[in-house]
Structure formats: C-alpha cells, structure tokens
Amino acid sequence: MDDNRIIKTEYSEVMRKSYVDYAMSVIIARALPDVRDGLKPVQRRTLYDMYELGIRYDRPYRKSARIVGDTMGKYHPHGDSSIYEALVVMSQDFKKGLPLIDGHGNFGNIEGDGAAAMRYTEARLERITQEAFLADLDKDVVDFIPNFDETEREPSILPVKIPNLLVNGSEGIAVGMATSIPPHNLAEVIDAAKAYMLDEHITTRELMRYIKGPDFPTGGIVINEDELLQIYETGTGKIKLRGKVEIEKGKGGKTNLVITEIPYTMIGANIGKFLMDVASLAETKKTQDIVDITNQSSKEGIRIVIELRKDADVENFKNMLYKKTRLEDTFGVNMLAICDGRPETMGLKQIIQESVKFQYEVTARKYKNLLEKELDRKEIQEGLIKACNVIDLIIEILRGSKDRTMAKTCLVEGKTEGIKFKSKESKVMAAQLRFSEKQANAILDMRLYKLIGLEIEALINEHEETMANIYRYEDILARRDAMAQVIINELDAIKDRYRQRRRTQITNAGEAVYVEKKIEEMDIVFLMDRFGYARTIDMPTYERNKEAADAENRYAFVCKNTGKVCLFTNTGQLHSIKAVDLPFGKFRDKGVPVDNVSNYDSSKETIVYAASQSDLNLYRVIFATKQAMLKVVDGGEFDVAKRTVAATKLQENDEVVSVVAYKEQRNIILQSKAGYFLRFAIEEIPEKKKGAIGVRGMRLGDSDEIEAVYYSQNAVEQTISYGNKELELNKIKLGKRDGKGVKVRQN
C-alpha cells in the first residue's frame, strides 16, 4: 500500500471527534424536540408520512404497520419499534395534552399495558394535526431537505401554528443531556402567545397570568405554585405533584378514600407499584386503618378505593399516603430543546418568543407565495380581458397563422409576417399587440365557451377578487401588525375549536404532616428457620408451640415489637432488621427471607449469630475467628441507626466462626480442624472495641484453622459428639490463652 494514502493521527483525537459527532447526532437528529414545532424527528416524519399517504381525519383508518413501514423506508431508517412507539404515544390522551393521532384498536392504557402489535392497530391523523400542523405544507412555507438516501424530500420542520412544545411537552434522553417539559393547556398557551405578540417586552410573571402552570392530562394538583415563576424563568426546577383524593361514606359507617386523579409521574407500572406500597403499609403494620383496597379504574378514569376502619384518622392517613407512596411525587423540569441548530435550555418566554418568531417566518413565506400566485393570475386575467375586447382580431390572427408559434409571436411581439389578414387595418392593429408570454399562452389555451357573456362577467369579477387579494397580501407583508392580526385570528380559530378545560389544579400546599401512631410495646418471638425465612409471633402462640418452635427453627428468641434483630455474619458485618418489618402472624406462616428485609446477601455471607438488640445491650459479646482471633465487645456498641455496620475488624483471609452473648459461660473451648482442643477461662479474653481485631486465642499449626467454638460452665457437664465418640468438654485440660491445646483423636 502507498504510504501517502495512510493518514497518521492521534487515537484519542479520533475517539474524541467520533464521540462528539455521535453525541450531536443523537441530540439534534433523534432525542430532542425542535422549539419551533415541538416535535422530535421521528414524530415529524411519522406525521408527514401520514399526510403524504392521505390518512386524513375524515378518511378511513390505515394499518399502523403500513404507516411504520412507509416512514422507515422513506424517512426514518432507525428501526420500526421507535417509529411505532412514537405513533402510539402521539395517540395516548393520558400522555399527551393534545393527541395528534387518532388510534383505532388497543393503543395501551394508563396502567402501563402496552399497545397491541402494529399489525393489529390502525391510525389516522387527528383533525387538529391537519389544521394546525400540516395545513400549509403545499404553500412552500418551510424548507424541504433530501431524505437519508436522497430519493425523497421531507420537511425540515412542520409549519405548526401553535407553541406545541408547551402544549404537548416532551421527554427525551440524549447523550449527556435530557429534556423534560410538562404539557400545558392549549387555550392558556395561545392566550400567552397572543399577549407576547401584542407586547414583546412582557415578563415571565405577566405571561403566567395566562399560563397558570402545567396542565397534565392525568389532572392532579401542583402544590408549589410559588416556585413556578423561578422554574419558568430558568427552564429548570422541580414541580411537586399530588393525586386528587376524595372522601366517600362506605358501608357500615366506614370511610372510603377514593383517588380519582394521579400524579403524571405515576402513569404506567407505577400505579401497580402504588397499590403494592399501600398493601405493604398494612402488612408491615405501619397502619392498621386499611380494611381493603380495590382498583376500580376504567376507561372513564382513575378510581382507586381504599376502605378504612370506622375510627381511622382520615386526614392523617391521607398524609401518610403522600409521605410513604408516590401519591405525592416530583416532576423534574428541564426545558431543553433545539434552537437555531443547538440544544438550549429555555424559559417560558423564550419558548413562546421562538414559536412566535417561527409563525412570522412561516406566515411571511405563505403570503409571499400567495401574492406571487395572485400576481400571475392577475397578469393572465388582464390578458384575457384585453383579448375579449379584440376577440375578432385574435380569431383572425389564429385563422391566418400556419402554426401556434407564428400566432404566439404575433400576440407577444406584434410580428405579422406570414399571417393572412382579411384587411390592412387588421394587420396594423395586430402589429400593435403586446401580450406577455403568460398572457399569450392563456389566450391560445382559451376555450370558445369563455366568450359567453356570463363567462366574461365572471372573469371581470374574478379579476376584481384577485386585485383585492393582492392588496390584502401586500398589506400583510408590508405591515407587521397586519401580519400579527392574521396569526392571532388563526390562533383564535384553533382555540375556539379545540380548547379544553384545565385538568390540573395549581395551588400552594404545605408539606404533608404525618403523625406516626406509636405502637404499643410488647414482647414477641423472633423465629428464623435454617433456610433463612424469618417471622415473628406473639408470646402465647410461642408458649403453646415452644417445643416445635425450638426444634424447627435455627433461632427462636424473645424481642420487642418496637426493637431490632441483629444478624452477625461470617464476613464481620452486622445487619439490623426492624421487628415491624417482619411479618407478624400465625405459627405455621412461612415468613420472608431475611435478604428481603435487610442488606444481608445469602449468596455472599452466612449468618453465625442472631440476637435481639435489647438483649445485646444487657451483655457483652464474644467474637472468635477462623485464625483464632478473640475479643469481647460491649453489646451496646451494636446499637446503631445504620442498617449495616462492621461488627469486627478481620485480618486478610480471616472470617468470623462464632459470635455469642457472654452470659453465664465461664470457659471457652476452641477446636481446630487438625483436632486440637484448647480450654481456658473467658476472663483471659480482653474487652476491645468493635473496630479492633482482637488477640490470639490459640497457636495454630500451618494450614490449621478454628473449626468450632464451644462454651461451658464450671461443674456443669456438657458433652459433644466428636468423630465416633462422645467428648466431655469439662474433662479437657484447662489451659491458658494462646496455648497449643491438646490433640484429641476421633476414635
């Protein structure tokens, strides 16, 4: 290969340039809407393709698959799923304040069920989409650009007549940036645009007289009205949303809490999560007010009914829902859009300003083109009127000419050579004719019936109408206030036909204050089986089933229902579980895995000891590790707020073998893997902090390690099975800490 054809460059520079090119491609051509029409490229192309296919609001629906396939083949070569998803979202009235597509079939629902496959559904344009988004495409009001393979042409922007970016909002994730614009009320946005056109120095605060705030299709309540001005001025901020809750009388004197509107952020799978969260509040005993919960939502709207006990504090319960569930949520606003080819975060006024500026540009192009057409029509009309006045002469020219070119030359330039005239006067008059090219062609194409008196009269009337149009169009193009009036009239017509009542309430509301009812403290019993499933039962149930409970469970001990259970693991971690987070019920209930209610991970660690926090506070705790490191720690050190803390410090490759509360034990017996036993007094183990490693309890041989730890009391017999024989622990020679111990054979 010729060395001159090899381009040497810094690899990092190539990567940087390629990444920037990719990022800009995603930002400009995929993820972000244009401030002028409020549409992303995939939305714009889908709507234009439907317009091209003639799928109008007053014509039959067409299969979505046809629309998607045509859009992908002609304009958007990025996969059918993105096109169909865009089509579906533009038809969903619970996501868009102003749906642009009329869907027929299963287009999903507010509870998160997806749309049917595109081969089953049908669609057509909504009437407003035709009238306000696509109406003037045939008047050359926007630039058309080549498509991806330069076989078709597509509009670079749609001539949208309303500030659609505000009306429908937008959400999209690009590279390194994201947009999140809430939807607004159509009538309010149009009023704000008109106010800006009448006074371009209007402030954001004054614009907010018209646009009160977002208007979500799901309704709900915006509760931070005072913060909206700052959000609309900067283009960023957080809108606090609440669902709408009504109180109804239930059966038997009970109260029903009915949720009729939800926060916009809850649509989809979050409705199901909300129901689970409410059920969880009852299961975990956070509240005992819930009798039943049912989702009665339908096509008519949201209706979630929570049946409460007779004596329930309804207001407190409502506040608990706001605090503990997504019935109160936050909508993050970041009004980012493409402006002049660049991504820009804009405030309310700038978005309206750019939209109005675009309206002036589109309207100027529209009336300039209309004026040109009317001037052409005027020229032809004047030529035809003039021709009607000398029609006998023109007929004489046509009859005397050998071909069309000869006749046309005579009409345009007055050349009479080769034409046979009846008289010299006719020839002289013909030489004086000076029609334009367009007029001459119109005369030559004119049909005889046009010479009828009524047709001539209609032509004169048409000419008068054309002159009136020319005068009107010239006035609109010459005077900005005249053009503004045209735009305002169009906005008023759209507002009158498509206005909707405001659905979202805007107010200021204080933070929900929820007073958690104090649980009456009592003793309960914690049970955990060998599979790690835990639960709690009351004391009488435990007393009745004590023998079975102790035999079937790895841990069974008394704790407070207001307290915590501590799990010590072989990795030296301490995991805490609130007793109220564990299911409380019958003796034969299965319980839940402790992994689900704590940070404990059964795939990475093993529980070596469990105890109640209140118990640990009364005692000290003895730790023993595989490398024979020992220490005693005050149990109060483990009374911490965090769910997980380090219970001890471990050396490399070491792990905890035994943890136990130091109560009546007197001696500790360490058993190594090699069969050495060392018994000595627990008093020899020093008390340390939980962050200490401890001291060596036994000298181990190479590759030997502690396998088991036993505890005994003086003068109390205790026997263990070791190998094939029984071993009495108190008969093992009493030694000193850090000794080697005695070798015990297994048979």
Which residues are known to be catalytic? 120
Please name the residues in contact with 137: beta carbons below 8 A apart, sequence gap of 6 or more. Answer: 48, 51, 155, 158, 159
The whole-angstrom distance between residue 23's C-alpha and the CA centroid of its chain comes to 21
DSSP alpha helix (H) spans, 9-145: 11-26, 41-53, 64-74, 80-89, 127-132
Strands (E), 262-401: 290-295, 304-308, 328-334, 336-339, 342-345
Place of tokens 């409460």: 308
Distance CA 89, CA 520 (A): 50
Backbone torsions φ then ψ of 599, nearest 5 degrees: -85, 0
Strands (E), 113-262: 122-125, 144-146, 153-155, 170-173, 178-181, 221-222, 236-242, 244-249, 255-261
Q: Is 42 helix (H, G, I), strand (E, B) or coil?
A: helix
Structure token pair of residue 723: 């190998």
Q: Which of 333, 330, 308, 332 is nearest to 318 (CA)?
A: 308
Interstrand relation of 255-261 and 304-308 (parallel, antiparallel or unpaired): antiparallel
In terms of Cβ atoms closer than 10 Å to its own Cβ (0-12, 13-18, 19+), residue 4 is: exposed
What are the b/e assignments for 328-354, b being 16+ CB within 10 Å?
bbebebbbbbbbeeebbbbbbbbbbbb
First to last CA, the chain: 81
| 3-state SS class at 352 | helix
What is each CA distance from 661 to 365, 389, 616, 631, 667, in whole angstroms? 87, 121, 7, 12, 13
**Under the phi-then-psi rule, with left for phi > 0, alpha for psi from -120 to 50, and beta for the rest, what region is 741?**
left
Cα 497 from Cα 626, distance rounded (Å)? 80
Please give the Cα distance from 140 to 127 (Å, whole number).
21
Contact 463, 385 (CB under 8 A): yes
Which residue in the block uniquely carries the two structure tokens 């030997």? 704
Q: On the CB side of 413, how many CA atoms lie within 13 Å of its CA?
A: 8
Q: Whole-angstrom Cα distance, residue 570 to residue 170?
A: 51
Q: Which residues is 569 bridged to in the sheet?
A: 607
H-state helical runs in 578-624 = 594-597, 613-616
DSSP state of 504: S
User: How many residues appear in the chain?
Assistant: 747
